Structure 1
């Protein structure tokens, strides 16, 4: 095992998961706790986040920080909380973000700025805080970003240029940082979900989208969590975008 491994038999690793008060982020936090890790959760609504953290159990291995990642101070507080509460940090999962369809010519400048700020800028700033701390620790680390398969395969019936272009920036950031941070033992990868059953689709017949994938179904949040945990542990994988989409990009059923 390398000296910069994020796994160790002598200490409990710590993961920071942004956007973890519900949906994919909450399940990722649950998966890390089940694997024995400490977890620092994040979300914009303090009450909702506190309830989510309480529902996970394991209060001795759970902390949370309310705030938007679009604010640099939120990322810095997440890192400081991990260091102060658990004595270190090992994994950052950049899950927080926003996504909503809108025809291209209907997108306002304010809406475009919102997607770029919350999806790309927020991920960028939070990652900066993590990398500074990881370098100071000197034992490497793992960053897993959450993108989207719509970067590689658009849908005519689902116009979402503004959020997709912001997520494309996250895909590009993953590739660039994998090269830049390799010398520090920091691996940077990305999970690109297809259509997943989450609160994002509340009120919609999400299963009707199953036919867009070769496996003829939508994904579950647990399947994204499994991919994130794999990349967090995969010591010879960096700069990789792992599609978890049931074959959405490859073809259609």
Structure 2
């Protein structure tokens, strides 16, 4: 097995933006600890896959402990896992609410807590979370209350954690995507969705992966919410 430059955990890594982030880091020679409910084993010796529900504390524990056992350290955590349920606020079910909170909030909390504890032992590390531009820029007819509650909460926690751990060598940032061409959106809806931002088209998954790489390589940036949304957050 090769000696990797860095070790990166990526949640929600089996498809979409998460898979793009894994590929982007691997191109740089970094080792990956990739996790999702449905992730399959990898033939790449520098990619460790851990299947499970990231909202479950036991899954988070396995991801971090197996990553450290395999690669010796954790340099970066990418909190990408999350779900969006678009419906009017009064029509959300309790089960739907619980699913969103489990993936978006519990999935962030448990693994971030464990990863930062590991990073403290190393006196260095970086946490970057993939949130959502719609969490802080609402649009009429687009149902974003649960996104604001969960992903918006992670944006706020990002700033708090950045200050809490700034003197301990740990940076904390977030990337807030707009509408991205991914399995989350049907292809026939792309043109209509593209009209929701000033550039007039939706983004690509690699746009988010490159933003994550940028923040990871920027040692003087912490507490930043980087909007990658075609100008959506700036207004219309």
What is the TM-score when the length of structure 2 is the normalising length?
A: 0.95
Q: Is the CA contact (8 Å cut-off) linking 1:67 and 1:74 kept in structure 2? A: yes
Paired position in structure 2 for 1:43: 36
Q: Deviations over 1:90-120 (max 9, x none)?
A: 0000000111201111112222222122101
Output the CA distance in 2 between the equivalents of 1:133 and 1:30.
24
SS state at 1:150 partner: helix
Paired position in structure 1 for 2:109: 124
Distance 1:162 1:106, change over 3 A: same
Select which of 155, 179, 199 maps to 1:215: 199
State the shift of 1:63 in Å: 0.6
Deviating beyond 6 angstroms after TM superposition, the runs of 4 or more aligned structure 1 residues are none
State the shift of 1:84 in Å: 1.2
CA RMSD of aligned residues (A): 1.5
When the two structures are aligned, how many residues end up with a matched partner?
234
Output the CA distance in 1 between the equivalents of 2:46 and 2:92.
42
Paired position in structure 2 for 1:13: 6
SS state at 2:113 partner: helix
Listed as ranges, the matches of 1:129-208 within 5 Å are 129-138=114-123, 140-202=124-186, 204-208=188-192
For structure 1, the residue ranges without an aligned partner over 5 or more in a row are: 1-9
Q: Deviations over 1:165-215 (max 9, x none)?
A: 111111111011001111211000000000000001135422321122221
Listed as ranges, the matches of 1:106-121 within 5 Å are 106-121=91-106
SS state at 2:119 partner: helix
SS state at 2:24 partner: helix
